[in-house]
Copies of this chain bind each other. A is one copy, B any other.
Amino acid sequence: MIKVAINGYGTIGKRVADAVAAQKDMRVIGVSKTRPNAEAFVAKQRGYPLFIADISKKTAFEKAGLAVAGSVEDMCRAADIVVDATPGDVGATNKPLYEKLGIRAIWQGGEDHEVAGFSFNSSCNYKEAIGRKFTRVVSCNTTGLVRIINTIDHEYGVEHVHAIMVRRGSDPGEIKKGPIDAVVLDPVSVPSHHGPDVQTVLPHISITTMAMIVPTTMMHMHAVKITTKREVSREKVVDLINHHPRMGLIKKSLGIKSTAELKEFAMDIGRPRSDLIENCIFEESIYTNRNEISFFQAIHQEADVVVENVDAIRAMMGTEKDADRSVRMTNEALGFVTIQNNH
């Protein structure tokens, strides 16, 4: 049993904890919080030992009825590997601690590639992660992009990718971040930094990205155009998506044409937290024309990287050397099947 610590029990951390807890070869030995808020009570309800960053706040937690198992350092000492799901740019400041303790660590996409020196996606470079000390699971947007780009690249060879990312302004549970009524170019400059981030996983891919933020909490939406080296067949592309363990096809017959309806459907079919782990590619949008494929895909910012973290743990611990087998183990333990096979 791999002993996993989750440093940062927030949007990503709480999902990784549940995904790890569901695996047969892993267990959650603790999660950390900085403040005794609602999520701390969720950790308690789920039975995860609660560790805190600032041990001087122990009394505050206990007053709220939350038992404290120790400090974050205590937690890390007890673990084989730590998943750092602290907020962007905070993760990097934890590196000295992990180095001091000699513990394996996984960071999220909010950190720079350089923090870990290696950027991970189960479908693209699992093998390279085997035995690594440090790994970074790329962001939700990058995860969504590399899954489909890599698949198309294997089949047809990718000449160039042009992707527009329309990003959600905040997560559903957040109340401070906007915008309320604006489209924000983020960044204004073209190309955006998302292209280079894709290249941390797939260095040989030529890609241009443009990104903006809009006032929604639901999901990101990508408008993607891929130019290929060989002529593409729409039928084959649909087939590739259908057989990928983490790409979903939103069939035309469902009548779904928005992120809101998609999340509602995920909720209705009983997905935990209404999570969409897979790329959600709209069947009706898939357009092919000789060496070109265009489509829309919705990416659930809170969910798609969760399963990648689980696979990264297995690869880094070296307990499973085969990517496909790890992906299957992860998915099966979660009872996860892609959305087109889900109803």
Contact = CB atoms under 8 A, between A and B. Distances in A.
Contacts of A268: 14, 38-39, 42, 273
Interface in A146-180: 162, 164, 166, 169-170, 172-180
A220 to B, nearest CB: 8
Nearest to A220: B183
A35 interface: yes
Interface in A212-267: 212, 214-219, 221, 223, 225, 252-261, 263-265, 267
Contacts of A37: 254-255
B343 A180 contact: no
Contact of A65 (B39, B253, B257): B253
B254 A186 contact: no
A176 B258 CA distance: 11
A272 B272 CA distance: 9
A263 B173 contact: yes
Interface of A: 14, 35-39, 41-42, 44-45, 64-65, 162, 164, 166, 169-170, 172-191, 208, 210, 212, 214-219, 221, 223, 225, 252-261, 263-265, 267-270, 272-274, 282, 284-287, 294-296, 298, 342-343
18 contacts: A36-B255, A37-B254, A38-B254, A38-B268, A42-B268, A164-B164, A166-B166, A172-B264, A180-B181, A181-B215, A182-B259, A182-B260, A184-B258, A185-B285, A188-B282, A188-B296, A190-B296, A223-B223
